[in-house]
A and B are shown apart, each in its own frame.
Chain A
Amino acid sequence: MAILVRFDRVSVAAGDRTILRNLSFEIGEGEKAVFRGKSGSGKSTVLKTLLGVYPVAEGRVYFAGRPLDREAVAAIRALAAYIGQEPVLGADTVRQALLLPFTFKAHRGKTPSSGKLAETLSRLGLAPSILDQDCNRVSGGEKQRIAVARAQLLGKRLYLLDEVTSALDPESKRAVLDFFADPALTVLSVAHDPDWIARCDTVFELEDGRLAGAA
């Protein structure tokens, strides 16, 4: 299994506060990894550091073997989807939200058909009738699945997930867990949900920005 993401003694600071301290770990292609720890332990910072949001104060982050530079960040963003607890849909209706990326120059001319939209939604346990619903009227759990569906339409293979099952009912959670079981998808997640953690290959414990354990 080729190494996709590597943190090598990484420290990240915001102002006077050190959020990550000397953090080292590796994630292979297709691996499902989860970070857990108390609130404020730096879990979400790990995800955002990989996306280039927080500058690395010490150490190095590698993506597919190359250090995190402008090109590497562009490559990560092309491959990755970040889905938080309250995902941003950025449109009025669910259909518009799913088609939003195809209004950007990078994906113009690749707009998926309505059939493809419906098929993608159904894989995540969502009925096609949701397509014309107002985004403000869909639940938190539906938003998370719509965001996953959108990422799938873009062919994303690296998923950075922040408590992605937090708002799901058991049936929807099962659909999401099954979706991410796909061996082609690499997952780096933050979660407290035992069902999610049980499905992950690697569990990292974070404590005050430090790696306290891995299993």
Chain B
Amino acid sequence: MDTVDISQTRMVLLYGIAVLPWLLLWAGGLRLSHDLWLSILRMSVQLALVGLYLKYLFAINAPALNALWIAVMLVVADFTILRRAGLRVRHFFLSTLAAIAAGTLFSVAYLLFLVIRPEPLYDARYLVPLAGMILGNCLQGNVIGLERFYCAIRKNENEYLTYLLLGATRREAVRPYFREALKASVSPTLASMATLGLVSLPGMMTGQILGGSEPWVAVKYQIAIMLCIFASMSLASVLNLALSLSVAFNDFDVLRGEIFRQR
């Protein structure tokens, strides 16, 4: 089954859908014009470039090029996570990169080597979109996790200090915040898994069906991706928080103020 293409004229029509919410938000006193249009512009340009790039990436299908693409995605995700979590990149670049790389690559390898087993195993048509989807979700979870964790410790300085004075080690003293941050990090995915198919039809499954796949095949891929997203996000969040501890505190176990970005 061929997918119905969207003509350029209809694409213009498509952008019109953003005008009504923009007007409503504006009428509600939210001055988001700049952010809204910039986000739409960025999304469009980025996706157009990705579309162009993927076309060649799939055609060349070289392992080194695929690996390079994933490395670029990881670095961009690293910067995005830290900026959105309000943390300075120079302090956490390596710890976050290591965490998201481990989380994403573990799930992607599991999925490709053990479950899907494409030929070749590094096939860009599978590797790149799957890694992208997993990483994209990992990104959201890690933003929430890091942001919650460090804001909570900063906000509850006396509480954290009390734990230290009661004999807690740094790891023991941060445990309550660690637990809360992890819960916040994985809760959206858990909620999403519990309602998938009832409240929403997931994007990947819809895309596959529109692309001509059998619904049952699309369902199997969707289950695979959701489980991988949950696994990678949990792994990356735990690793990210744990690895960040060594750079976020000074010798006296006090949270360093300079780790936070000036907003």
Among A53, A100, A101, A105, point to the contact of B161 (Cβ < 8 A). A53
Residue of A nearest to B163 (CB): A90
The answer to whether A107 and B251 touch across the interface, beta carbons within 8 angstroms, is: no
- In the complex, whether B172 has a CB less than 8 A from a CB of chain A is yes
**Also in contact, A78 and B161, with CB within 8 A (given A70-B252, A73-B252):** no
Q: Which of B158-210 contact A (CB under 8 A)?
A: 158-159, 161-169, 172, 176
- In the complex, whether B157 has a CB less than 8 A from a CB of chain A is yes
The answer to whether A104 and B162 touch across the interface, beta carbons within 8 angstroms, is: no
- In the complex, whether A154 has a CB less than 8 A from a CB of chain B is yes
Among B159, B172, B251, B252, point to the contact of A88 (Cβ < 8 A). B159
**Could you say which residues of chain A place their CB within 8 Å of the CB of B161?**
48, 51, 53, 82
Scan A62-99; emit 1 where CB is below 8 A from any B CB, else 0. 00000001100100011011101001101000000000
Q: How many residues of A contact B (CB 8 A)?
A: 25
Query: In angstroms, how far is the closest chain A Cβ from the Cβ of B226?
Result: 35
Count, A-B residue pairs, CB within 8 A? 56
**Could you say which residues of chain A place their CB within 8 Å of the CB of B254?**
52-53
**Could you say which residues of chain B place their CB within 8 Å of the CB of A73?**
251-252
Q: How many residues of B contact A (CB 8 A)?
A: 20
The answer to whether B164 and A77 touch across the interface, beta carbons within 8 angstroms, is: yes
The answer to whether B165 and A80 touch across the interface, beta carbons within 8 angstroms, is: yes
Query: In angstroms, how far is the closest chain B Cβ from the Cβ of A211?
Result: 24
Residue of B nearest to A70 (CB): B251
Q: Which of A47-61 contact B (CB under 8 A)?
A: 48, 51-53, 55
Among A90, A105, A150, point to the contact of B169 (Cβ < 8 A). A105
- Once the chains are docked, how many angstroms separate the CA of A154 from the CA of B167? 9
Among B166, B176, B250, point to the contact of A154 (Cβ < 8 A). B166
The answer to whether B162 and A88 touch across the interface, beta carbons within 8 angstroms, is: yes
Query: In angstroms, how far is the closest chain A Cβ from the Cβ of B250?
Result: 8
- In the complex, whether A106 has a CB less than 8 A from a CB of chain B is yes
The answer to whether B162 and A77 touch across the interface, beta carbons within 8 angstroms, is: no
**Could you say which residues of chain A place their CB within 8 Å of the CB of B157?**
53
Residue of B nearest to A14 (CB): B257
Q: Which of B136-176 contact A (CB under 8 A)?
A: 156-159, 161-169, 172, 176
**Could you say which residues of chain A place their CB within 8 Å of the CB of B158?**
82, 84, 88
The answer to whether A82 and B163 touch across the interface, beta carbons within 8 angstroms, is: no
Query: In angstroms, how far is the closest chain B Cβ from the Cβ of A58?
Result: 18
The answer to whether A82 and B162 touch across the interface, beta carbons within 8 angstroms, is: yes
The answer to whether B162 and A87 touch across the interface, beta carbons within 8 angstroms, is: yes
Q: Which of A69, A77, A107: most chain B Cβ within 10 A?
A: A77
In the complex, the 5 A-B pairs of residues with the closest C-beta atoms, listed nearest first: A52-B252, A106-B167, A101-B166, A88-B162, A88-B159
Instruction: Jot down 20 A-B pairs with beta carbons below 8 A, ordered by A.
Output: A51-B161, A52-B253, A52-B254, A53-B161, A53-B254, A69-B251, A80-B165, A81-B165, A82-B158, A82-B162, A82-B165, A84-B158, A87-B162, A100-B166, A101-B168, A104-B169, A106-B167, A150-B166, A154-B166, A154-B167
Residues of A within 8 A of B (CB): 48, 51-53, 55, 69-70, 73, 77-78, 80-82, 84, 87-88, 90, 100-101, 104-107, 150, 154
Residues of B within 8 A of A (CB): 156-159, 161-169, 172, 176, 250-254
